[in-house]
Structure 1
Amino acid sequence: MTSTLRTIAVCLLAFGATTAFGQATLTVTDTSTQTISRFIYGHFAEDLGRCIYDGFWVDDSMKVPRKDRIRLDVVEALKRIKVPDLRWPGGCFADQYHWSDGIGPRAQRPTRVNTTWGMIPDDNSFGTHEFLELCGLIGCEPYIAGNVGSGTPQEMENWLEYLNYGGKSTLSAQRAANGHPAPYKVSLWGVGNESWGCGGSMTPEFYTDQFKRYGEFCKDYPGTHLKKIASGPNSDDYHWTEVCMQRIPAWDMYALSMHYYTVVGDWDHKGSATRFGEDEYFTGMRKCMFMDTLVRKHSAIMDKYDPAKRVALAVDEWGIWTDAEPGTNPAFLYQQNSLRDALIAATTLNIFNNHCDRVRMANLAQAINVLQALILTKGARMVLTPTYYVFELYKVHQDARWIPISLNSPDYTYNGQSIPAVNASASRDQQGRVHISLVNLDPNKEVTVSANIQALHVRSMSQEVLTSAHFTDINTLDEPNKIRPLASTAEPLSGDSLSVTLPPASIVVVELRP
């Protein structure tokens, strides 16, 4: 396989009851040198609801495999999808968290009130060492968000010395006394979180001064280069991005964060996670696709000040946010997870893949029992959600070479509004295999994909599909395998032709082997 220009012309024919849905083309140009960073596939674990406590960190009497109180069946599930990094302790909680509360003998740690999420007591039994042990077990990098809202530069400086200094000092000796003589070498570091809101209700002008003030005391200790991530805009606040890029030097900022949630209703009535019709389904898909507009517009602003793209756009909170499940604490943000959510995840990851020149970090909110979770638990039982399986299918894109695509898709039309029915992204891994991830958002019609693959010299192919009978379908503790990837029978290769059928409301990942 050479790196010469390759084009796959794909004809998409969708069929309704009796009428052809139309035709479109997908063009793939295999000349890119861009890499899809594995950190696009990151996750988020806030001290919120049942994510940490009763999620990752369980009572020592619970009869599940554990390391200390870390739940190992959860760890193994996250290892399988190659989680690259985990963000902690927040979220909004980060700007009320004081790291020294969570070190030392657990019986001596203070109990604080989590004023952000439910006014509940927090015994701080899960702190710095426990989080870094969790990351070590998963095999991922820690991404820590420091406290700018209620903390001080001194507090942040001390935390970093405690984490990363390997020489002789009071703080490094304290770390050793607490069980870890070697420095942790934490690199990914958030300087605050949502500073425009729960992190301090700041203006961008004030925040950029705070970033430079706090950042001055965030040191590179020997063996660890700190990657400082600035608290960026809320959704379409393009002014915030403009000010940050104007006032913070590119050399001082590894990434600028951006947060966007798919909210089907409004913030007071977000909609149900399980009881919705095609009207809300369509709205969810349309709002999910707004991520592409956000990335394009924020990237354009960043390009003005950083044409070399030194600063990454880190979408470190994203996903669908619905009303909490009935009967649960609304402050815990526990929601079920349907096929709709999987389609949102797959579409969003396709967007990130296709903007991998600027989007080099992202973190789904959140890993367990909160918002668009990968895993739901109840006591000793756990279930993997449809969203989990999207990350399992898409892990083939991690650190693979991005292949640009151009898609002219047929429309999915509902109630006079239209969005593209199909979205896609593609990459080539280090073994030369091409993976094309295709999403059909139309819940009523299948799409047949036909391709001329002569230039790829394909010897064989396989495909997996994730779908279900209805977009409200979910996995439950009693029916955990309702939605999971299945190897599907592909049309046999016929000369240089490829044919793939996308069922209604489905995700299909095709592997083409040279």
Structure 2
Amino acid sequence: MFKIKPLLFYCFAMATPAVFAKSASVGIDIHSEQPGPVLNKNIYGQFMEHLGRGIYEGVWVGEDSNIPNQDGFRLDVLKALKDLKVPLLRWPGGCFADEYHWRDGIGPREERPRTVNSNWGGVIEDNAFGTHEFFAFAELLGAETYVNGNLGTGSPREMVEWLHYMTSEADTTLVRERKKNGRDKPFKVDYFAVGNESWGCGGNMTPDYYADLYKHYSAFLKAPEDNLPKFIASGGTNDQTDWTQTLAEKIKPSWSLRMNAISHHYYTIPTNNWETKGSATDFPKEEWFSALQQTLLIEDYIVENTAILDEHDPEKKIGFYIDEWGTWYDVDKGTNPGFLYQQNSLRDAIIAGLNIHIFNRHAERVQMTNIAQMVNVLQAMILTDKEKMVLTPTYYAFQMHIPFQDATYLPISLSATPVYKQGDASIPAISASAAKALDGNTYISIVNTQLEGAIEVTLEQVKQARGKVLSSDIMDEHNTFEQPDNIQPSDYSANVKNGKAVILVPAKSLMVLNLGQL
């Protein structure tokens, strides 16, 4: 999780009325005979940080809580995340990671030290949720694990000992300590990052300095071959390419130096202004457009960085992981500014769909992404208020895309690309992505970005056309604790005649359809 930093963005006219395409018609061809890469399920990964109520109350309430729980994990959130089939969890940060000392979070909870979370709100961190709790939660969900190591305030020894504590079966003092703390077998660590946002909250480093530190630390990071994580280097943000360039030039992976991926972060801010980002709800029409326009910039940044990797790593052994992404608005009024709590509307679901389509197109390198964050923080799947819980439109966007996990990407082509204009700026009015799922069926995801005007889509050589659509007449429609079902997906189906289906994609909507076995 990064803190405020000036960004470079394209300009757009905020005061100019938008122009909407009216009932455009588009033909979409799915090239099932030209399958692409597998869409790694971890493209749909989640991020949980010690930030606000993202973990405490959002996930962890403790065994003595009045909120129904299983071993301290609240049952309603646990069930909702199981239903979402969360493939991957990233923890403990974010900025928090580079001030987190893992020993604070092990052993009897009543004996764990109380510290101050200086990054997020200055609140007391009682360390009730630590290494054992994180892995227990991931195992309950059946999710892979991504642990972010402390490079900023830690030491090589601290990082080495944590990895050993988690992964080893050897009869060492550290392993004996893990067993004493209740875990006999090693934890499964799938990914391990050396630092986070080292250009900012992780140490204000230069790419060259960080690359040298990465080589230093990673030289000592060892684990059993059958429990060796993929190692992730901290990369850049937004339009930066110098981090990828430097890491690719200075770090040549070998048996003694592993770098399986480089991370990158990008957040969507509708107003272009970190000081006044805009409201999560009750926003003007101009900010609907600008938010979508800003989120689409991530594709340019992916293309620029992966081009560098293609030059230095033509065999594509190094992944490019977008391990923080999502919308960032002004916090909800009356909440702690350091908790980054914001509502979540239909606009966020549309933005999620657009990002997913982009990640799918670049799946050769983009093998993991982590939306920020899973519960109660920024573009959350779930919001809680003590014993209450509500699912957000973004939750439903992820749920609709479950068939895309580990599916095979199928390229598509459009007969036309209608545009959605605002002043001199424009974005595509339609976005789509298709894949052949593990169940043998082909699925297509379609977004209509316009506030007005349905788009007629023609699909050829399909067996069926049925699925879900998420939309509303209200552009900032959202669920509340008082009205938790304001917006949720509706069933959709269209007739298929001689292999042809005509789909009407409503304005401001996300649709995912099962087209059968093509």
- TM-score, normalised to structure 2, is 0.93
Residue of structure 1 equivalent to 2:356: 349
TM-superposed CA distance for 1:70, in Å, is 1.0
Residue 452 of structure 2 aligns to a residue whose secondary structure is coil
**Gap runs ≥5 in structure 1:** 1-15
Residues 40-73 of structure 1: CA deviation (Å, up to 9, x unaligned)? 0000000000001111111544333312211121
TM-superposed CA distance for 1:228, in Å, is 0.3
Residue 223 of structure 1 aligns to a residue whose secondary structure is helix
Residue of structure 1 equivalent to 2:508: 505
Query: How far apart are the structure 1 equivalents of 2:294 and 2:228?
Result: 37
Query: How far apart are the structure 2 equivalents of 1:480 and 1:347?
Result: 24
Residue 320 of structure 2 aligns to a residue whose secondary structure is strand
Residues 224-264 of structure 1: CA deviation (Å, up to 9, x unaligned)? 12210000111111111110111112452111100000011
Residue of structure 2 equivalent to 1:314: 321
Query: How far apart are the structure 2 equivalents of 1:59 and 1:223?
Result: 33
CA distance 1:20–1:322, shift in 2 (3 Å): closer
- Size of the aligned set, in residue pairs, is 494
Residues 250 and 306 in structure 1, CA contact (< 8 A), matched pair in contact too: no
2:132 maps to 1:129:
yes
Matches within 5 A, 1:85-164: 85-164=88-167
> Which of 262, 265, 275 is 1:268 aligned to?
275
Matches within 5 A, 1:33-432: 33-251=36-254, 252-265=258-271, 266-407=273-414, 408-432=416-440
Residues 281 and 340 in structure 1, CA contact (< 8 A), matched pair in contact too: yes
Query: How far apart are the structure 2 equivalents of 1:509 and 1:187?
Result: 30
> Which of 453, 458, 464 is 1:460 aligned to?
464
Structure 1 runs (4+) greater than 2 angstroms displaced: 16-28, 59-65, 458-461
Query: How far apart are the structure 1 equivalents of 2:298 and 2:101?
Result: 33
Residue 289 of structure 1 aligns to a residue whose secondary structure is helix
Residues 219 and 226 in structure 1, CA contact (< 8 A), matched pair in contact too: no
Query: How far apart are the structure 2 equivalents of 1:246 and 1:36?
Result: 27
Residues 12-35 of structure 1: CA deviation (Å, up to 9, x unaligned)? xxxx99985544443322212410
**Gap runs ≥5 in structure 2:** 1-17
Residues 273 and 335 in structure 1, CA contact (< 8 A), matched pair in contact too: yes
TM-superposed CA distance for 1:134, in Å, is 0.7
Residues 164-200 of structure 1: CA deviation (Å, up to 9, x unaligned)? 0012000000000000011113121011000000000
CA distance 1:158–1:498, shift in 2 (3 Å): same
- TM-score, normalised to structure 1, is 0.94
TM-superposed CA distance for 1:431, in Å, is 2.7
Query: How far apart are the structure 1 equivalents of 2:448 and 2:465?
Result: 20
Residue of structure 1 equivalent to 2:445: 437
Residues 405 and 426 in structure 1, CA contact (< 8 A), matched pair in contact too: yes
Residue of structure 2 equivalent to 1:29: 31
Residue 200 of structure 1 aligns to a residue whose secondary structure is coil
Residues 381-427 of structure 1: CA deviation (Å, up to 9, x unaligned)? 10000000000000110001110123342001123321100011100
Residue of structure 2 equivalent to 1:13: none
Residues 62 and 380 in structure 1, CA contact (< 8 A), matched pair in contact too: no
Counterpart of 2:263, as a letter, is S
Query: How far apart are the structure 2 equivalents of 1:288 and 1:459?
Result: 33
2:487 maps to 1:470:
no
Residue 370 of structure 1 aligns to a residue whose secondary structure is coil
Residues 32 and 401 in structure 1, CA contact (< 8 A), matched pair in contact too: yes
Residue 439 of structure 1 aligns to a residue whose secondary structure is strand
Residue of structure 1 equivalent to 2:12: none
Query: How far apart are the structure 1 equivalents of 2:411 and 2:345?
Result: 30
Residues 97 and 195 in structure 2, CA contact (< 8 A), matched pair in contact too: yes
> Which of 470, 474, 490 is 1:486 aligned to?
490
Counterpart of 1:506, as a letter, is S
Query: How far apart are the structure 2 equivalents of 1:229 and 1:406?
Result: 34
Residues 350 and 449 in structure 2, CA contact (< 8 A), matched pair in contact too: yes
Query: How far apart are the structure 2 equivalents of 1:101 and 1:327?
Result: 31
Residue of structure 1 equivalent to 2:8: none
Residues 64-123 of structure 1: CA deviation (Å, up to 9, x unaligned)? 331221112111111111111111000000000000000001111110111111111111
Counterpart of 2:30, as a letter, is V
Query: How far apart are the structure 2 equivalents of 1:411 and 1:450?
Result: 18
CA distance 1:17–1:203, shift in 2 (3 Å): closer
Query: How far apart are the structure 1 equivalents of 2:70 and 2:314?
Result: 46
Counterpart of 1:28, as a letter, is I
TM-superposed CA distance for 1:147, in Å, is 0.2
Counterpart of 2:419, as a letter, is D
TM-superposed CA distance for 1:495, in Å, is 1.3
CA distance 1:382–1:495, shift in 2 (3 Å): same
TM-superposed CA distance for 1:429, in Å, is 1.4
Residue 368 of structure 2 aligns to a residue whose secondary structure is strand
Residues 35 and 402 in structure 1, CA contact (< 8 A), matched pair in contact too: yes
Moved more, 53-62 or 474-483: 53-62
Counterpart of 2:262, as a letter, is L
Query: How far apart are the structure 2 equivalents of 1:222 and 1:292?
Result: 35
CA distance 1:239–1:17, shift in 2 (3 Å): closer
Residue 401 of structure 2 aligns to a residue whose secondary structure is helix
Identity across the alignment (%) = 44
Residues 165 and 222 in structure 1, CA contact (< 8 A), matched pair in contact too: no
Residue of structure 1 equivalent to 2:4: none
